[in-house]
Amino acid sequence: MTSIIVFDPKDGEIVQVYDWSAFEGADRPSQSQMEQEAIDLAVRNTGRQKSEFGTVQAHAKDMAEEREYKVDVQKKSVVPKPDGPRKK
């Protein structure tokens, strides 16, 4: 499963995670289509402008459920929050 992480480029805070999966043989949208759909959803959910978001692709299997994450804005990668509380 591919996840599009929508984040605030000012501080790397994750706004939402847009998961995409499809059955074998199904048409898959392009990366840019998935990113645009994720940003459009974030705009609807938050009322913020498109320009206030960035996106990065990640895989759900690479993120432990009990951790909290953010985006390293410089590297454009998802990283665990260093001092953040663990999810319960």
Provide the H-helix boundaries in the chain. Answer: 31-46
The domain locations on the chain are: 2-80
Task: Give yes or no for residue 88 having a pLDDT over 60.
Answer: no
Whose structure tokens read 């199904």? 26
Instruction: Please give the residue that has the higher pLDDT: either 84 or 50.
Output: 50
- Give pTM, 2 decimals: 0.83
* Nearest alpha carbon to residue 3 among 50, 71, 87, 86: 71
| Better-predicted residue by pLDDT, 63 or 34 | 34
What does the pLDDT read at residue 13? 96
